[in-house]
Structure 1
């Protein structure tokens, strides 16, 4: 068992290393890393139990504490959701943390209720249907938890600070304005871009700054315009600032900003700046649009992070809904076939 888990861990670690070298802007990097870490943990646990048998008691204790940890996580998520609603207003995005906390409590209760109901019915077909439903809910919930863990893990790893060469251009992704002015969330992105801009040695060409964002229905002017004003007011040369003011989404931010760079003859190395929770999705979209740009992170207020990561994960899952359905559907069919085979 130890040898098998160790072998699987090595396989996933190898896949991660190869995939990471080819392109760090891939979701599967997080999946490979999570799987390598999970099977590595299983291997390490097996070795410790073999060398020191009483360690098994700690494992039993840890397993027994899982429901308590899940409940604590649910309470934290609900509390964070309430904070988001009070601080950021009512919206579906701001409700995600609250909904996730309720799901952590509600899904196990729902599964237990379904299983109990299946045990009370005397109709075999109905028992099978209800049992399949319970197993599917467990599988889909586990799939959601695993993909969220992989997304969060690789987002944090990818967003970590690292040395980079001075780029030819910096694209700053927009976010909502508050009464036409730059709010703290967007300011952190602009400040990160300014730090990169100022890092250019004296006598060298500074990166072109492209603040990118169109005008939302509730905004008095385009985000790119307000962002450009902020950059110039904080030391950027107006000649080095080329705002993009027509985009309405992250994908459009990237596509339309590349046109601005092409017009300015700055199509060399490019960095994209956004908040840490948004880094991986922005990188996935950059890759999907054919851009070679790397993405760097700016900090986010702590209370905002849980809901923000959930929102980005949901967006990635929706953008790849066909792939997710393709991955989930065979397992659902296998679950149903297995349950039916029990009565064959």
Structure 2
């Protein structure tokens, strides 16, 4: 029996290990790794109960008490952190909608906690219980999906591209008054840093600056990025421009065309440079575009991280919105079906 239960986390770990080696940019890596952790904890609990000894229950009670104390206090600390981060972010970056995502998330979680305490289902007829149950399952689905995303994102951060690249794609993020703003400058600086590191060991890569011209920009973003890099000491002959793209996906697609034309399809090694919070989603777009490219990330101010992570998660949900609409639709559709049965036969 012990061996059967022990084999479950082992299977999940093998699935994760194989999937991560194949491609660290997969969202499913988070699911496999979290499944491994959960089943491994279950195995540990079973092992403590299964073995015969004077301390078996004592060893089991300690982590259970820790979780009982950690979950409520950890949730309160998390909420306080979100509210504080929203305050700091809006003070530093301005009171704009895109800077209020952590505030919205905190208010949403607080609302769910209050709703759970009040239990509004008790004010409605019993036959509506399946609808409230379905809504609860949707909330659980969202939180599990978000947790899998955070795990896959964190695991992807450990990936380090080798310094044998032929190309570095620098992803654009917009100009301000036709000048490279700090966010975009950090991406270029990261590419310049990698360029100089590789140059010490082998032939330097070509840097492709990818970004088109926005409606409020006087020049293509790629041109301003190239000029900035040349000022940083990059020889202009080691730079290339892709000045048609207007999205991250187009950054990847159009840059791939340039590399394919210059070196032949699949006959080169490439990476992309962006901000570290953007690495995972950019990697998914690179995979979608057919690029076997990993990312290198520039550092981001700590106060900017939580809001950026919420934005990244929303963007990834939108990328695969059909799948999520289908799951939520099935849950709520089945809940509605049960509600109708309870209404007509109660």
- Aligned counterpart, 1:324: 324
**What is residue 296 of structure 2 aligned with on the other side?**
296
Shift of the 63–331 alpha-carbon distance from structure 1 to 2, 3 Å rule, reads farther
Deviation at 1:336, TM superposition (A): 5.4
User: Do the aligned partners of 1:212 and 1:244 also contact (CA within 8 Å) in 2?
Assistant: yes
244-253 or 175-184: bigger deviation = 175-184
Q: CA RMSD in A?
A: 2.7
Corresponding residue of 2:214: 216
Output the TM-score relative to the length of structure 2: 0.87
Distance 1:96 1:202, change over 3 A: closer
C-alpha contact 1:71 1:104 (8 A) present in aligned 2: no
Write the mapping of 1:1-344 to structure 2, written as runs, cut at 5 A: 6-48=6-48, 51-54=55-58, 55-56=60-61, 58-113=63-118, 115=119, 117-121=120-124, 126-129=125-128, 131-160=129-158, 162=160, 164-201=162-199, 204-265=202-263, 268-333=268-333, 335=335
Structure 1 residue 333 displacement after superposition: 4.7
- The structural deviation recorded for 1:321 is 0.9
Matched-pair contact (CA < 8 Å) for 1:49–1:56: no
C-alpha separation between the residues in 1 aligned to 2:49 and 2:300?
Answer: 41
Contact 2:170 2:191 in 1 (8 A): yes
Per mean C-alpha deviation after superposition, the further-off stretch among 45-54 and 23-32 is 45-54
Aligned to 2:226, what secondary structure does the other structure show?
helix
CA contact (8 A) 1:166 1:196 kept: no
Moved more, 248-257 or 62-71: 62-71
Q: Is the contact made by 2:131 and 2:332 (CA closer than 8 Å) also made in structure 1?
A: no
TM-score, structure 1 normalization: 0.87
Report the CA distance between 1:204 and its aligned residue. 4.8
Distance 1:82 1:62 in 2: 30
Q: Which secondary structure does the structure 2 equivalent of 1:72 belong to?
A: helix
SS in 2 for 1:81: helix
**SS of corresponding position for 1:297:** strand
Contact preservation (8 Å) 2:249, 2:289? yes
Secondary structure in 2 matching 1:205: coil
* Mean Cα deviation higher: 307-316 or 135-144: 135-144
CA pair 200-72 structure 1, distance change in 2 beyond 3 A: closer
| More off after superposition, 235-244 vs 253-262 | 253-262
Deviation at 1:233, TM superposition (A): 0.6
> Per the alignment, in what secondary structure is the counterpart of residue 292 of structure 1?
coil
Does the Cα contact within 8 Å between 1:111 and 1:137 map onto a contact in 2? no
Q: CA deviation at 1:57?
A: 5.1
- How many angstroms does 1:147 deviate by? 1.6
Output the CA distance in 2 between the equivalents of 1:81 and 1:5: 44
* Structure 2 unaligned spans of 5+: none
**Structure 1 residue ranges without an equivalent (≥5):** none
Aligned 8 A contact 2:161 2:296 in 1 = no
